[in-house]
Amino acid sequence: MASVSEDNLELQEIQKLEGHTDRVWGLAWNPTSGADGVPAVLASCSGDKTVKIWQKSPSTSSFHLKATIEETHTRTVRSCSWSPSGKLLATASFDATTAIWEQVGDDFECLATLEGHENEVKSVSWNASGSLLATCSRDKSIWIWEALPGNEFDCVSVLQGHTQDVKMVLWHPSEDILFSCSYDNTIKVHMMRNPIRVAASALVLTVEDDTKSENNERYYMQVWAEDGDSDDWHCVQTLKEANKYYLVLLYLYYTIKPKH
């Protein structure tokens, strides 16, 4: 509750939401709630490995616990973010995964688990259209995921510009511009260019010696394409630490930035 005087604005505590058993790291409002008769909905995430959903009572100013998302993440849930439609909730965890949830009745169903970061995922953010999701990690990288039909998510870009932990990512509210902040004392601004589709002409599984990994080997899947105006080949994308048992599809289309 807020009261205004001539000199200042005063905020008064009207309720304390309790239920988490460890520190609470993040909050996110459902963007489609709180208007037109729809009760306001708030998500909170915690070091207790859970996400709690709070809903405002229609007749009062108080919030009550609506649902608890648990038994999926195995470590701290560091960040949570609703999609612009309010239908999906993304949760980023220190277990190096990001989970995508959809409400089904009074429960939440995990639609997908996004894996790829080598260390803790610190932040997650949807773009304005809900077509892209950004995640960042202690591994210094930012991953961009594209939301596809059938509740599928594909990594379409990995940004490696920061030299220290990336603590937070945040999309511009109306444009495909991504901001990221890091322990390297910088804020980077990334603008998405219009993607073009190219047919991948070859897939190469690369094996390198690595004393830190099992059997001293690391596997990389590389996507190669032939230049249209010459006989040269170039690597479109390197998918880090690919599993050697991945199935290779006969036809693969991949998104790259246009050349300038």
Amino acid 1: pLDDT: 58
Q: Catalogue all structural domains in the chain, each as residue range(s) with its CATH number.
A: 23-192 (2.130.10.10), 198-256 (no CATH)
> pLDDT under 50 in the chain at which residues?
195-201, 203, 205-209, 211-212, 242-260
Per the structure block, which two tokens stand in for 97?
């995964």
Torsion of CA 237, 241, 247, 250, to 10 degrees: 10
pLDDT digits (tens, 9 = 90+) for 207-229: 444 544 555 555 555 555 555 55
The pLDDT, as a whole number, for residue 239 is 56
pLDDT at 235: 58
Give the predicted TM-score (pTM) of the model: 0.73
pLDDT of residue 120: 98
Nearest to 134 by CA among 113, 158, 118, 150: 158
The strand order across the sheet containing 217-226 reads 202-209, 217-226, 233-239
Longest dimension (CA), the chain: 74
Q: Give residue 9's pLDDT.
A: 87
